[in-house]
Structure 1
Amino acid sequence: MMDPHDDVELSDLEDDAFIPSTSRAKSLKGKSPNRFLRWLPPRMRAFLENMSRIRLVIITVIVFILLLVFISYWNGRLKDVSIPKQSLALSKELARNLSNTAIPEYVLTYAPLVFLDSEDEFYPSDMAAHVSNAHPTMNFNPVKDAPEGLTLDNLNDLNDLGGDSIYLTSTTLLTNLPNYLHGQKPDKKTLQTENAVSCVIALANKEDGILDAFYIYFYTFNDGPRALGHQVGNHLGDWEHNMIRFKNGEPQAIWYSQHEYGAAFTYDAVNKIGKRPIGFSAKGSHANYAVSGAHDLHELDDEIPAHIVFDQTSQGPLWDPTLSAYYYTYSSTNNKFEPANDKTPVNYLYFEGQWGDQEYLDGVEGQEEFHGFHKWTSGPQGPIFKHLDRKDVCLPRDGGCIIKESL
């Protein structure tokens, strides 16, 4: 016990009087309200404190959304890319070979380049190889009197045996995913699908100096999109296309096919490498888009639930379809194709049937149904059914043609 007569320093008394103990300081820390808030009623003060916390949450959410937008922009931007020298040399050689034909040079100068998705396993494919791996059926039965060994030269003979009721059915069960379905990956140095003619380029002259150039891409297999553990829309044979509308030799607009419809843009609006527009081929489905990223299929078809099924595109392998293509002019007056040279096959373009199997029946092994959509569906018809005679840039559809001026 301190003796009251012990000497006490004045500074010690001042410290005891005006500086709280350490434990007391800690207890008061954080409890003292804001100078303004401490004069408010407790309920009002609690409300304002809660609002402060909510504001912090809102700011956090806004920052998170901005981060997602930035990531989307960063992933979706067109990364710098140049065309390899070997590919440029092949393009010059192609231009020389077509210089004395009905194919104008500007059709090559402004031809689209296509980025395949980096995760896609099903590449552009050789049309002749596709036909050789199929046999004609009708109602799941072999077609009688069909030519032995289908080729691009005799495919139209099937029109007299059943027309659009005929299906080119895989000789190997599709559910086994035979190797020929994978097609040909473009070479990194040439951008060419070597030994695989995988594109049809058809030119349709219209009135008033208009020429529509159709760049029609062939993939032997459509690997349908996935949703909630299900897959829909698998089929043999897959035709997709860009169309560039020229007026007096100058590009005006470009069409991107996307499943049953698509999108149109002005030529100036789209990304390009040099003068050549860029397309992005979706993983598996090969629908064409002007930008990379995820594309909600609900925007293309109202029957598809929103935010469930997406096409995925990315800046994967670059493909120059012009380097492995057949070239034609097309007359809408008589629906006739004229090949650019005598060695180009043409009869296959008149085939009226489907370029794949007929949709599997319910109950067949491997077939599934999801919200009215099936996993294994029928193959499509060929290039002559792409509305080559269309008046607008867009495919015919109620509501008119909207040509977007920005991406």
Structure 2
Amino acid sequence: MHHLRHLRRLTIVVLVLVVIVFLLTFLPGAINPIPPSKEKLEADQRWINTSPSWLDRQACRWLSICGLLHLKPDPPEGLDCHYDEDHDLKRILDENYGREDTFVANYTGELRGIPEYVLDHAPLVHLYSGEYFWPSDIADHIQHVVPDPEEGKPLNKPDKLTLANLYELSSESGFLHLQSKDNVESRPRWLHSWGNIPTSYADESDEWDEWDEWNGGEDPSGEDTTWFEVDRDHPLQRISDPAKRPAGLPKDRLTTKRLRPARFRNRRVPRSPATHYYKPDESGYSRAPATLVLVDKGSGVVDAFWFFFYAYNLGQTVLGTRYGNHVGDWEHAMIRFEAGIPRAVFFSEHEGGQAYAWQAVEKRGNATETQRPVIYSAVGSHAMYAMPGNHPYVLPFGILKDVTDRGPLWDPSRNFRGYWYDYTATGDAEGLEPVKENPGAPTSWFHYRGRWGDGLYGLDDQRQWRLFGQYHYVAGPKGPKFKNLAREKMCQTWRCRILHSIAEGRKGSWYI
């Protein structure tokens, strides 16, 4: 009887483990609307075969437990990584303050400027208060990586990588990664970008007014056209009285000229570093430029893509085990304008994202003139959300989640590289031109086809593991050109639902 009781308990434990393995491994794949291709399945088998251990390969194939013996702590600050705080901050300031972008591009044609409404409604980003990996400058990033071509492919490598020659790497060599020169687990300083935490401006009188979230009801801007699904092949269609003007907007909304507020003046006050984190005031300039890509969709519709780059993505933890680390991290928000009127905002989140009607998102600004949407950047992953708090994704029951809060406020409109992009251009390295406000901005980097970080580490690498379908290290991302800038809908994929209240977004979705 005693043995039967133990056998029963053991059976229950085994059944529970089987259910957990099923939920964490097979359920996400079963409900994935885009099943893996044959090529992806074959690539996965090749990855499994990189393990030198037969037992590890079998456990990986049948139990989805790969590299179990590689498991170890992965704290944000790294293992055996010590900082001399005063020395490090002095070095960061000496290296970065006053540095100018020396890359030059020559354009003989007349360049287009940035529409005033784009900067008036530029987003503000709340970085996480306990972040370890802050905004980075792509010009700095490429000084710490080396090209790593696909096996067997040629590589015509320039003497020195710059934003003005990066495309040359991928023009002949096929698939490519930019591999870190350092072991990322030693947490080299350039991954953290401590010196790029937003800094305060001299003009402290220009304060922001808090805006409460829109609580639903009728859309005050009026949804009288098909702005939510438009490009040059699918022009704007009017779906109500063509004489009707969006409610609540002045007649001269599109022609009114006014002085740019003081917050847009390029004046910066260097500050003395007081602590390792030296938190800024809520009016933030960062020395790491954002990237603004403007896309004309025709019919008076312009998509303003704001791209944000980080040298490192620190994944989140599940039961003390970290998943999803990678070198290089591109995130973005897109604001769609119709005739200068903001209609909706897209927030990128990992491989997906969420779109909100303009009235739904939190804003700051002058209630009669300027409204700027507020974005919340998740700790480590930098995924973008419309509200602070916890945001579960991929795994059920909130096991894996992003966390956002009202940390340092980053104003990307104070420092950015701006471009217009014509997605109908036929040439492989054509269609992008700088805005007239920064005519010398380089363009080659935009057309680089490879990834901005390390490739997927194999199971022969002691840093790598995969449990229940989730990797410790994944491959770095591709750049802005490959984020579906030609999209008709607000989202990157065909699955796109525009939410009309923050309350809808708070419900979340455990699968993206």
Q: Do the structures match in fold with TM over 0.5?
A: yes
The one-letter amino acid of 2:421's match is: Y
Contact 1:188 1:317 in 2 (8 A): no
Partner of 2:382: 286
Contact 1:122 1:219 in 2 (8 A): yes
Within the alignment, does 1:343 sit opposite 2:440 as a pair?
yes
Output the CA distance in 2 between the equivalents of 1:187 and 1:143: 43
Residue 102 of structure 1, CA deviation: 2.1
Contact 1:232 1:373 in 2 (8 A): yes
Output the CA distance in 1 between the equivalents of 2:314 and 2:151: 22
Partner of 2:184: 174
Within the alignment, does 1:115 sit opposite 2:206 as a pair?
no
Residue 366 of structure 1, CA deviation: 1.5
- Stretches of structure 1 that go unaligned for 5 or more consecutive residues are 1-99, 299-303
Distance change >3 Å, CA 347–CA 107, structure 1 → 2: same
Deviations 1:311-364 (A, max 9, x none): 000000000112121001110110511101321111100000000000110131
1:137-148 equivalences in 2 (<5 Å): 137-139=148-150, 144-148=155-159
Distance change >3 Å, CA 121–CA 141, structure 1 → 2: farther
Distance change >3 Å, CA 142–CA 227, structure 1 → 2: farther
The structure with the greater share of residues assigned to helix is 1
Residue 367 of structure 1, CA deviation: 1.2
Partner of 1:321: 412
Output the CA distance in 1 between the equivalents of 2:305 and 2:156: 34
Contact 2:313 2:380 in 1 (8 A): yes
Instruction: Tell me which stretches of 4 or more aligned residues in structure 1 moved more than 4 Å.
Output: 139-143
TM-score, normalisation: structure 2: 0.56
Residue 160 of structure 1, CA deviation: 2.3
Deviations 1:291-324 (A, max 9, x none): 00000013xxxxx233210000000000011212
Residue 215 of structure 1, CA deviation: 0.5
Partner of 1:248: 339
Within the alignment, does 1:390 sit opposite 2:487 as a pair?
yes
Output the CA distance in 2 between the equivalents of 1:229 and 1:161: 43
Partner of 2:243: none
Q: SS where residue 357 of structure 1 aligns?
A: coil
Distance change >3 Å, CA 342–CA 207, structure 1 → 2: closer
Is the radius of gyration larger for structure 1 or structure 2? 1
Partner of 1:53: none
Contact 2:155 2:173 in 1 (8 A): no
- Stretches of structure 2 that go unaligned for 5 or more consecutive residues are 1-110, 202-282, 366-370, 503-512
Within the alignment, does 1:405 sit opposite 2:416 as a pair?
no
TM-score, normalisation: structure 1: 0.71
Deviations 1:217-248 (A, max 9, x none): 11111011111111111111111000000000
Partner of 2:143: 132
Contact 2:307 2:331 in 1 (8 A): yes
Output the CA distance in 2 between the equivalents of 1:306 and 1:380: 27
Q: 2:166 aligns with which of 151, 155, 167?
A: 155
The one-letter amino acid of 1:352's match is: R
Output the CA distance in 2 between the equivalents of 1:116 and 1:188: 15
Q: SS where residue 206 of structure 1 aligns?
A: strand
Residue 186 of structure 1, CA deviation: 0.9
Deviations 1:24-75 (A, max 9, x none): xxxxxxxxxxxxxxxxxxxxxxxxxxxxxxxxxxxxxxxxxxxxxxxxxxxx
Within the alignment, does 1:332 sit opposite 2:423 as a pair?
yes
Distance change >3 Å, CA 370–CA 310, structure 1 → 2: same
Partner of 1:191: 284
Deviations 1:237-265 (A, max 9, x none): 11100000000000000000000110000
Deviations 1:85-131 (A, max 9, x none): xxxxxxxxxxxxxxx94210110000100000111110110110001
Partner of 1:225: 316
Deviations 1:115-173 (A, max 9, x none): 0011111011011000111110024799643112211011000112323x100001111
Output the CA distance in 1 between the equivalents of 2:465 and 2:408: 32
Q: Larger relative CO (CA 8 A, sep 6+): 1 or 2?
A: 2
Q: SS where residue 157 of structure 1 aligns?
A: helix
The structure with the greater share of residues assigned to strand is 1
Contact 2:155 2:169 in 1 (8 A): no
Output the CA distance in 2 between the equivalents of 1:358 and 1:305: 28
Contact 2:197 2:286 in 1 (8 A): yes
Output the CA distance in 1 between the equivalents of 2:488 and 2:112: 25
1:54-133 equivalences in 2 (<5 Å): 101-133=112-144
Contact 1:219 1:239 in 2 (8 A): yes
The one-letter amino acid of 1:234's match is: N
Output the CA distance in 1 between the equivalents of 2:330 and 2:393: 18
Contact 2:147 2:176 in 1 (8 A): yes
